[in-house]
Amino acid sequence: MQEALKYLQPDVVAQLANMELRARLVVEGFITGLHKSPYHGFSVEFTEHRPYMPGDEIKHIDWKAYGKTDRYYIKEFEEETNLKSYLVLDASKSMEYSSPGHLKKIEYASYVAAALGYLMVEQRDAFGLTIYDERVRTHFPPRATKLYLQQMLRELENVRPSNKTSTAQSLHEVAERIKRRGLVIVLSDLFDNPAQVVTALKHFRHKGNEVIVMQVLDPLERSFAFGTDAIFRDMETKEELLTQPWHIQAAYRESFQEFLEFYKRECRENAIDYVLLDTATPFDRALFEYLNKRKRIH
């Protein structure tokens, strides 16, 4: 069990060979944490079954399989799809930042997206993927097949940050492209005009979508615990500033906290789920938030 759970740690997952392996091991680690060893006893005669997950309807449990294995399995239906989800990933230049010993924000966010996509397809849910910076770079509508998942994982494997951010404008564009209502999950550091970003998030709600915002930050962006002298470089404009961080640490933290509180408050008031993640946060946090939301939607 401990072996599986270690794959919820970002530094462990970063060492894996490819995105498909990362997604699979994160999800298996997550499920192992939900119930002890859910894959134990899985055999050929149950190839059309999968382990029960929170959010599944009880009427789909195969009680014969339960009688043989003492575990809950869900009958699979070829065309069954429960929910359409839209993963929206910020790939602007600010997402390239990492402090020593941590993943880049874009890496962390892409691993979360990969694990969510994998979990969704395992549950027969359809998911799509949108990647943006100053504009929407790629937009794939939701599907629920393993082949499609592999294509999306390749996209996430190859994503590289570039250009300035325009989260608000890009989210408006995505909201207009979504033709069928579903669950929108935004993965971004939200480093854009907060009021404009919130207006764009409300656009999704106005069109009848459920929304989860996962704000991905680096631990140092929250603590500002730099040394005595530091050169700060804007990831997007390349401007540099030499300063002594401890002079401004208190003011920075206060200002940054206000920035975070604004998003929390506005999301709450507009029935949008808000999740604060940093690149040291174990991946099960993001997956739990998704499953809890899915449970409430059904």
How do residues 42-98 score in pLDDT, each as one tens digit?
332 334 567 777 777 777 777 777 777 777 777 665 444 578 999 999 999 999 999
Q: Residue 242 above 80 pLDDT?
A: no
Q: Residue 274 above 70 pLDDT?
A: yes
pLDDT given at position 221: 83
- CATH tag for 84-297 (out of 2.70.98.10, 3.50.50.60, 3.30.413.10, 3.40.50.410): 3.40.50.410
Mean pLDDT of 199-214: 97
Averaged pLDDT score across all residues of the chain: 85
Mean pLDDT of 183-194: 96
pLDDT class for 243, splitting at 50, 70, 90? low
Contacts of 253 (CB under 8 A, 6+ apart): 223, 224
Mean pLDDT of 153-158: 97
Question: Cβ distance 228 to 246 under 8 Å?
Answer: yes
Signed CA dihedral, 102, 107, 110, 116: sign only: negative
Identify the CA nearest to 165 among candidates 109, 237, 86. 237
Residue type, 77: F
pLDDT class for 153, splitting at 50, 70, 90? very high
pLDDT given at position 44: 29
Mean pLDDT of 10-20: 95
Question: Cβ distance 31 to 40 under 8 Å?
Answer: no
Q: H/E element holding 216?
A: strand 210-217
